[in-house]
Structures are given as C-alpha cells and as structure tokens.
Amino acid sequence: MFKQLHAAGVRADSELPSEFDARYYRKRYPDLKNLAEPELEAHYFSFGIPDGRQGSQAADRSEFVKLAGRHVSVLEIGPFANPALRGANVSYFDVLSTEDLRKRAVAHGVNPADCPTIDYVSPNGDLSVVDRTFSAVFSSHVIEHQPDLVTHLQNVARLLEPDAYYFLAIPDKRFCFDHFIAESGIADVIDAHARELRRHDVRSVVEHLALTTHNDSLRHWKGDHGEPNYKKATDLFRSAVQIALYDPTYVDSHAWQFTPETFREIITMLFELKLSPFSISRLYATTFGSNEFYAVLRKRDVICEELRERLPADFDEKDYLIANPDVAAAAVNPTQHYLCFGRKEGRKLRS
C-alpha cells in the first residue's frame, strides 16, 4: 500500500517506485528467475522493454493511478464518464459542465451516472479558471491533445504546490491509431509555442483524418498495423485541409505523437531550455498489449523564460536607425537587430 503524502514539502523521488525493480521483474517472469540483478537489468533494457515486459509495479495502470490518488489534493483533467480518481481529495476540470458531460455520455452509450461533478469548466481548456493549487495533478490521454504543449505544462505548474507532481497516462504512438504518424520532436514543440497555437493546425488535422489507422493495441503489438486512412480514400488530404482552414468546429485530434523515449527527451529539453519547470521523475514504459505509458513530472523551482521576445510598445524602426547609425550603415533589419542584439546591448530606441 502506498503511503499517503500529507504536504508538498515531504515529497521526494525516492517515494516513487523505481522505473525498474529487479526483484519484481524476477518474480513476474519465472523464465528469468536464475539471473542475478545486474543480468536482470541488462535483460530488461535490451529485451524486456522491446518485448513489452513490465519492469515495475507502477507500470500497471491501476497501480500508477494509486500513486496519484494518495495525495492530499488532486486535480484530474478531462475525466469524462470514466474518472481515474475518486474521493474527497479529488477535484475535476473539463471543457464541459457536469450536465453537458452527462448528455455526451448518453450520446456515446455510456452511463451518465458515471460522470463526476465537474468543479472547474472552461470550453477552451483554459486552466486559469482553477482558483487554487493542488498537491498533484493527474491527466489521462490529455497532453497529446494540447496544441501548445509548452503553455499546457506552464499552466499545470501554476496549479501545483512547490515540488509537486504531474501524473500522466500518455498514448504510445506505436500501438494506437497514430502508428503511421511520425514521432514529434523538440523543434515541433518549440514551433507550436512560438506560433502560440490555440487550435490544432493543418498538420494535426491532416494527420488525424488521413494518416491514422486502427486503434487495437494488441494487433499493433503483433505487427498488424493496418493501413492509414488515406489508402481507403485518397481525397482525405484535400478535405482535411479544407476542414482545418474553414470549419469553425473544433477538431479533437492529437497534436503530438510520443514514445516513452521521445517524451523523456522532449520534457528534458524543455526543462533545460527553461520553457517548462518540469523534470522527469519517473517514466514507466509501455507494456505488451497496452497503448499507453506513464510519466511522473516534478515541478522544480525554475522561472520559465519567454520564447518570443516582445518589442517595446514605443519601438519605431526609423527612430531606432537614427539613434544607432552603425545599424543603419549595416543595412540590417532594425527590428531583427534590436531583438537579437540591441536589447542586450542596451541600445537607445531614439536619439
């Protein structure tokens, strides 16, 4: 049984199950019972992960959920009719109200009574409507939908007490309908943040409508990936572009395609760039037959930096060139020069 955490200050990564537990691994897989612990670890990272073997108790969804549920106060994002967490310590955020969620449940053939009471509602997913902080935040298959991943992480961090955790269940693109879509990279994430995306762009909509395939994770594990949707209807590319450009209706698509390895790389890089205050505390790999992996991000005492430099309200290109004749003589773009060099050099905006 996991110990309950009573205050933000007592959290330590040592309280989280390790990503690989040799004794658990040996017990779970009798064919490995004669291996020593170093051999077990070598087997797991060389063969166990690719084969979908479970290297930690926390790699099981029910056990992972318990890790989040033990906290004094938890916010679950996007529970719909199947919240992972229940209890007096849990609050809920969703884009739909309780009443609207229940209507949606009926439309999808789900028992509306399973919908929890939603405490915080924002139709556009704006987490700023949440007026308190929590000792943990939990989301399941939510982060991959965020058009601007960086802003999502920064907003979640504002809801957490110092040194607290963000627990995530994340689809592994190799074993879900995203199989044929390329893995997301750090450049993609930075680009979306620089463009301040609030809706899915053409790329995401086209990928969702034309490049997705079946969602049977076991079939994917066995090598049966089907074929992307466009193979059945080649006009999907054109229609997807039209929908993305002209249809005001929100298209609920994945903006990001992760594997455990690429997710770790992206989160680590965002932290090093000071675009996110989260570091990876634990990452539990995808197990055979499943289409998701689990991550625990820890909020660190880091002040995030702005990616986009903002021009002063009174900046004028002509005045800047007059005040800085060397810039004018160099025939460079004054706005570009100020953002790249002038601000740091303390250049005058006018003479």
Most confident region among 131-140, 230-239, 339-348 by mean pLDDT? 131-140
pLDDT digits (tens, 9 = 90+) for 188-230: 999 999 999 999 999 999 999 999 999 999 999 999 999 999 9
Out of 27-41, 141-155, 160-174, 298-312, which region has the weakest mean confidence (pLDDT)? Answer: 298-312
Q: What percent of the chain has pLDDT over 90?
A: 82
pLDDT of the residue at 8: 38
pLDDT of the residue at 344: 85
> Rounded to the nearest 10 degrees, how much is the dihedral formed by the CA atoms of 140, 69, 137, 159?
160
The CATH number of 8-19+56-299 is which of 3.40.50.150, 3.20.170.30, 1.20.120.160, 3.30.930.10?
A: 3.40.50.150
pLDDT digits (tens, 9 = 90+) for 10-20: 345 888 999 99
pLDDT of the residue at 347: 92
Is a pLDDT exceeding 60 seen at residue 85?
A: yes
Average pLDDT of span 124-144: 96
Q: Are 141 and 134 in contact (CB under 8 A)?
A: no
209: which DSSP letter? I
Place of tokens 């006009």: 235
Angstrom distances, CA of residue 112 to CA of 100, 103, 106, 108: 10, 7, 6, 10
pLDDT of the residue at 249: 76
User: Which residues sit opposite 165 in a β-bridge?
Assistant: 136, 298
pLDDT of the residue at 259: 98
C-alpha to C-alpha distance for 47 and 61, rounded to whole angstroms? 22
pLDDT of the residue at 88: 96
Is a pLDDT exceeding 90 seen at residue 40?
A: yes
pLDDT of the residue at 5: 39
pLDDT of the residue at 308: 74
Average pLDDT of span 226-239: 91
Is a pLDDT exceeding 90 seen at residue 248?
A: no
Q: How many helices and strands in the chain, by DSSP H and E? A: 15, 7
Q: Are 349 and 312 in contact (CB under 8 A)?
A: yes
What's the whole-model pTM score? Answer: 0.86
Residues of the chain with CATH 3.40.50.150: 8-19+56-299
Q: Are 284 and 59 in contact (CB under 8 A)?
A: yes
Phi-psi region of 199 (alpha: psi -120 to 50; beta: other; left: phi over 0): beta
Q: Taking the CA atoms of the chain, what radius of gyration do you get in angstroms?
A: 24
* Angle between helices 149-158 and 260-272 in degrees, nearest 10: 70
Average pLDDT of span 59-77: 97
Is a pLDDT exceeding 70 seen at residue 2?
A: no
Is a pLDDT exceeding 60 seen at residue 3?
A: no
Is a pLDDT exceeding 70 seen at residue 250?
A: yes
User: Which residues sit opposite 172 in a β-bridge?
Assistant: 258
Average pLDDT of span 302-318: 86
Q: Are 295 and 283 in contact (CB under 8 A)?
A: yes
Average pLDDT of span 140-154: 97
Q: Are 54 and 28 in contact (CB under 8 A)?
A: yes
